[in-house]
Amino acid sequence: MTYVAAIDVGGTTMKGGLVARDGTILHLERRPTPRAEGPERVIAAISRFAADLSRPWDGSGTPSPVVEGARPVAVGLAVPGLVSPTHAVFSAAFGWRDVPAAAFADVDLPVALGHDVRSAGEAELAYGGGEAHVLYLPIGTGIAGAVVPSGALYGGAGGWAGQIGHVPVWPDGLACGCGQSGCLAAYASGSAVAARCGVPGAEDVVRLAAQGDARATAVWAEAVEALALALATYTLVLDPAAVVIGGGVSQAGDALVVPLRARLAARLAFRPAPDVRTSRLGPLAGLLGAALLGWTAQG
């Protein structure tokens, strides 16, 4: 069986896997991202992960259809920030600049580097049963978007397209880590809703709101309203058929999409709202996207 090695580098966890052409994940492994230890340590950890996944399979990890002694044909790496095909150009979260792809994967296999959210968007297109005109919107520690205006991802003039998390939703609103104020992410990212309620994660806010906690209810409602505002703008400009929400906050399910559908529809007076749903690929979209990168390297 032919397969690629794939690594999806997140802010807290790296997912690595061996993935077949049809998207079947033959092997899956999670390792912590040593982000607090600085960019050099993160790069070294990714490189070690790539080397481990590129080794001939030793027959461990049963049941696995990977044949003992087999190797992947290529490596696909998905990382956050601004990414070119040859370099991780910049990431505020990791503090790196102009890291060449070879620094992440020093292996004797073809290596392809790509942007995490855009790669996950490619996986949604390939495996998620997605529409041709879609916005893929992972909501996790931050909020980004993969803009698919017509069956193919749009990166923009400088690769900055899809920064929906930093669309201003309220003038003079909360300060955002990016330097602007009133950004969507300051109200609706997983880290923002958790911090505003003083709890560890967005799932705690959802649980408290379901129990009738006033603060959690207000914070969650404001997050939904901020999303509705940003998505109304996006919808009016690009007319997507669907908005597909991924990332950790998508685990909220109906507690997110039911009120969001209603608020988005209420914000759009003269046109119907696009469908809003959670990703069918869930948290593995990034890994499958990294695998698609690997296939492009393999040719």
Contacts of 52 (CB under 8 A, 6+ apart): 16
Closest CB to Zn ion among 73 and 178?
178
Told to check if 180 binds Zn ion by CB under 5 A, we report yes
Site size with Zn ion, rule: CB under 5 A: 5
Told to check if 174 binds Zn ion by CB under 5 A, we report no
Closest CB to Zn ion among 101 and 139?
139
The minimum distance between CB 82 and Zn ion, in angstroms, equals 15
136-173 residues labelled b (16+ CB within 10 A) or e (exposed):
bbbbbbbbbbbbbbeeebebeeeeebbbbbbbbbbeeb
The minimum distance between CB 34 and Zn ion, in angstroms, equals 25
Phi and psi torsions of 294, nearest 5°? -60, -40
The minimum distance between CB 179 and Zn ion, in angstroms, equals 7
The minimum distance between CB 187 and Zn ion, in angstroms, equals 10
Closest CB to Zn ion among 70 and 174?
174
Which of these segments, 113-121, 148-156, 169-177, 273-281, binds Zn ion (CB under 5 A)? 169-177
- Using N-to-C axis directions, what is the helix angle for 202-210 and 190-197, rounded to 10°? 60
The minimum distance between CB 169 and Zn ion, in angstroms, equals 10
Give Rg (Cα) of the chain: 19
77-101 residues labelled b (16+ CB within 10 A) or e (exposed):
bbbbbbbeeebbbbbebbebeebeb
Single out the residue of 15, 118, 166, 196 in contact with Zn ion (rule: CB under 5 A): 166
Which of these segments, 13-21, 50-58, 164-172, 273-281, binds Zn ion (CB under 5 A)? 164-172
Distance CA 288, CA 30 (A): 14
Which ranges in 89-210 belong to alpha helices (H)? Answer: 101-104, 116-127, 185-188, 190-197, 202-210
Told to check if 176 binds Zn ion by CB under 5 A, we report yes
Closest CB to Zn ion among 176 and 244?
176
Told to check if 178 binds Zn ion by CB under 5 A, we report yes
Q: How many residues are present in the chain?
A: 299
Which of these segments, 42-50, 111-119, 129-137, 173-181, binds Zn ion (CB under 5 A)? 173-181
Which of these segments, 11-19, 180-188, 253-261, 277-285, binds Zn ion (CB under 5 A)? 180-188
Residue of 35, 38, 18 whose CA lies nearest to 26: 18
Binding residues vs Zn ion (CB under 5 A): 166, 176, 178, 180, 183
